[in-house]
Amino acid sequence: MGHRPSSAVPSAAIDRAQFGAAVFGGRLVRIAWYVTPARSRKFQNCTPEEVAVASRALAVWQNRKVVSLLVRRDLKVKYQKSILGYAWSMLEPLAMAGVYFFVFGLIFNTNRGVPGGDDAPGGYVLFLISGLLPWLWFSVALNEAPKALISHAKLITTMKVPREIFPFAVVSGKFVDYLFTWPVLLVFVFSLGGRTSVQGLLVWLPLAIIVQFAFSLGITLLLSSVNVLVRDVERVVRILNRVLFYASAIIIPSAMVLESDTFPTWFKTLYELNPLLGIFKMHHAVWYPADAPDAFILSTSVGGAIITLIIGYVTFRRLETSVLKEL
C-alpha cells in the first residue's frame, strides 16, 4: 500500500509500510525507503544501509538453510554422545516438574490457586507441566544467548553471513527442543484429562509461541552482542534466569499474586509489566481458559516483546562493527 512512488503519500502510511515489510522481510522496504520523502525518514542520521533492516531480514531469510544447518548440528552434537539421547529432552522437564510438584503442590498446596478452581481438568500437575516446557525453551535460550556469537567466533571471522543468524539459530534450536517435549505434555493431558478449546489451540497457543519467539530473539540479539564487549552479561543472565522464573507465573498461578492482599498495587503493576507473564498465561490458557490474559497483560506482553525485539536488533546492529573486531 505505501510504496506508490508519490511524495503525497502520508508519511505515517509509509512508516507503516516500512514496518510491515520489515516484518515480512522483503524488498518492499527498499522501495519504501527510496520513496519516503527525506523529511519523514525517522532515522535521520542513519545511512541507507543501516535503515535497510529489511534487506538484512531478507538476507537472514536467504540464509535460512544455514540456520537449519546450525540447528541440526547442535541437535546432532547434543544427542550423539549420550546413551539416552532424545529421552533426556523429556526426563529433564519431568524431573523438574516432580520437584516443583513436591514443593509447591504437596507442601505449599498451590492447588488451590489453579485457574478455574480446584477441580479444573488437569489440576496443578498439568498446570506445572504446561508452564515448565515452554519455560525451558526460554530459559535455555537465555542461558546460551551470551555465547551465541562467541562460540562461533571462528566461523564469523572467516565467513560472510549475516551475523543475526547465530542468535536466530539459538532461539530456533531451543524451539525445536521445545517441540520435542510435546509428547510429554500430551501424555499428561490425556492421563489427567486436560481439556482445551478451539480458542486455546487456535489463538493462545500460536500467539504464545510467536510472542515468546520474538521476545527471546530480542533478548538473544541484545545479550549475544553486548557480551562480546562486556563479559559481565553471563553473570547477569544467571540471576535473570532465576528471577524471571518466579516472576512469570510458570509454576505459581498469577492469581495468587494479583489477587492477594500481601502485595501493594505498584508491585502488582510491575509484575504485570513483565512480558513473560502474559506469554506464560497464554501457554496456560490453552488448557485453563480461566487463565487467559486480560487486555492489559496481553498488551504488555505483545508490546514488550516487540520493543525488546527492536531494542535487541538495534543494539546488535550498532555494536556489530566493534563486535567483529573483538571476536
Q: Which residues bind other proteins (CB under 8 A)?
A: 45, 65-66, 69, 73, 76-77, 80-81, 154-161, 226, 229-230, 315, 318-322, 324-326
> Which residue, 82 or 191, is less far from other proteins as judged by CB?
82
For residue 157, the minimal CB distance to other proteins (Å) is 5
- Rounded distance between C-alpha atoms, residue 304 and residue 274, angstroms: 8
Q: What share of the chain is helix, strand, coil (3-state, %, to 5)?
A: 75, 0, 25
> Which residue, 42 or 318, is less far from other proteins as judged by CB?
318
For residue 76, the minimal CB distance to other proteins (Å) is 7
Within 10 A of 315 (CB to CB), how many other CB atoms are there? 17
Question: Cα-flanking dihedrals φ and ψ of residue 114, to 5°?
Answer: -60, 130
Residue 20, all three cell numbers: 510491515
For residue 165, the minimal CB distance to other proteins (Å) is 10
Q: Measuring CA to CA, which residue among 288, 291, 212, 279 is closest to residue 248?
A: 279
Contact 294, 199 (CB under 8 A): no
> Which residue, 287 or 316, is less far from other proteins as judged by CB?
316
R_g of the chain, CA atoms, integer Å: 22
> Which residue, 79 or 245, is less far from other proteins as judged by CB?
79
Contact 279, 218 (CB under 8 A): no
Residues sharing a CB contact under 8 Å with residue 280, sequence separation 6 or more, in sequence order: 131, 134, 135, 208, 248, 249, 250
- Rounded distance between C-alpha atoms, residue 66 and residue 192, angstroms: 41
> Which residue, 39 or 81, is less far from other proteins as judged by CB?
81
> Which residue, 30 or 152, is less far from other proteins as judged by CB?
152
For residue 291, the minimal CB distance to other proteins (Å) is 35
For residue 158, the minimal CB distance to other proteins (Å) is 4
For residue 226, the minimal CB distance to other proteins (Å) is 8
